[in-house]
Amino acid sequence: TQHKDLAGVHLIVTAGPTQEPIDPVRYITNRSSGKMGYSIAERAHKRGAEVLLITGPTGLPAVDGIKTINIKTCEEMLEQVRHNFEWADAVIMAAAVADYRPEYVSEQKIKKDDDAIMLKLVKNPDILEQLGKIKGNKKLVGFAAETEALYENAKKKIDKKNLDMIVANDVTEKGAGFEVDTNIISIIDRDGKVTKYPLMSKMQVADAILDRMLDILK
Ligand code: PMT
């Protein structure tokens, strides 16, 4: 890949899971390690972009030169992404944002007095969908983590969230998706054109996504 081909580009990248609290000691989350989002942030920075990384809790070390905002919940991520949206030319949402959160957060640790308890979950706001409504000339790149009907579901998300492209990964495939250092992706553009990629490291996947983003930014 060419050297500083992303110079001048202001890019927001989101990474990691969100944590949705149940009580002071418990939360709901998912398997995202942050590796995919961090790889994108790192490669974009190396290629000259100004990167703002907004990340849920991960075990990953901060990357030198990348401004990083740490959040926990979907609502905190939404707030930070919206707050910085004006500055950005493009947003890449690699974060695995929780779709639901507990309706009430117990102020005290829940006791194990009952044999069964109910936890009511309510829908979280959809960050990309909100951005899709106010995007103007900005470019929006989503991910689709699917376990079935990969292309069909990914294409629906492009329309629903008004995206410029979506990176679809079938998270049931070996070497793809959560936690591992590799991924197997397809990039789908607004016209529905699908480009399939072989198994690659998340750094290589990041470069492939950034190449395509650069094309649509031009
Ligand atoms: O972190 P790793 O361990 O490296 O794993 C990488 C990954 C599997 C998390 C990553 O490749 C990936 O697929 N990220 C998106 C996961 C996801 O939440 O997919 P989704 O299909 O549920 O969501 C679709 C898109 O909408 C995503 O870009 C998501 O960030 C966004 N979204 C989802 C929910 C929500 N409330 N707001 C959103 O903006």
Q: Which residue has the tokens 């990964």?
A: 169
Predicted confidence (pLDDT) per residue in 21-60, tens digit: 999 999 999 999 999 999 999 999 999 999 999 999 999 9
pLDDT level of residue 177 (50, 70, 90 thresholds): very high
pLDDT at residue 2 tops 80: no
Which numbered atom of ligand 1 lies nearest the CA of 36? 4
User: Binding site annotation covers 210?
Assistant: no
Return the half-sphere exposure (C-beta side, CA atoms, 13 A cut-off) of residue 131. Answer: 29
Amino acid at position 120, single letter? K
Question: Are the C-beta atoms of 52 and 12 separated by less than 8 Å?
Answer: yes
Dihedral angle of Cα 139, 13, 51, 206, to the nearest 10 degrees: -90
Instruction: Give ligand 1 pocket residues (Cβ under 6 A).
Output: 32-36, 74, 93-97, 99, 124, 126-128, 142-145, 157, 169, 171, 177-179
Please give the ipTM for the structure prediction.
0.99
Amino acid at position 19, single letter? Q
Question: Are the C-beta atoms of 55 and 63 separated by less than 8 Å?
Answer: no
The closest residue, in CA terms, to atom 21 on ligand 1 is: 144
Q: Residue 113 Cα, ligand 1 centroid: separation in angstroms? A: 36
pLDDT level of residue 3 (50, 70, 90 thresholds): confident
Structure tokens at 123: 């829908």
pLDDT at residue 1 tops 70: no
Give the Cα-Cα-Cα angle 178, 183, 187 (nearest 5 degrees).
110
CATH, domain range 10-217? 3.40.50.10300
User: Binding site annotation covers 99?
Assistant: yes
Predicted confidence (pLDDT) per residue in 199-214, tens digit: 999 999 999 999 999 9
The closest residue, in CA terms, to atom 33 on ligand 1 is: 97
pLDDT at residue 189 tops 90: yes
Which numbered atom of ligand 1 lies nearest the CA of 177? 8
Predicted confidence (pLDDT) per residue in 60-109, tens digit: 999 999 999 999 999 999 999 999 999 999 999 999 999 999 999 999 99
Q: Residue 167 Cα, ligand 1 centroid: separation in angstroms? A: 10
List phi, psi (to 5°) of 85: -65, -40
How does the average pLDDT of the chain come out, rounded? 97
- Ligand 1 pocket test, candidate residues 71, 74, 93, most atoms within 8 A of CB: 93
**In this prediction, what percent of the chain has a pLDDT beyond 70?**
99
Q: Which residue has the tokens 């079938």?
A: 170
Catalytic residue (one of 30, 70, 84, 162): 30
Q: Which residues face 139 on adjacent strands? A: 90
Return the half-sphere exposure (C-beta side, CA atoms, 13 A cut-off) of residue 156. Answer: 6
Q: Residue 37 Cα, ligand 1 centroid: separation in angstroms? A: 10
Question: Is 30 designated active site?
Answer: yes
Q: Residue 23 Cα, ligand 1 centroid: separation in angstroms? A: 25
User: Binding site annotation covers 218?
Assistant: no
Give dist(CA 168, CA 13) in Å, integer: 17
**In this prediction, what percent of the chain has a pLDDT beyond 90?**
99
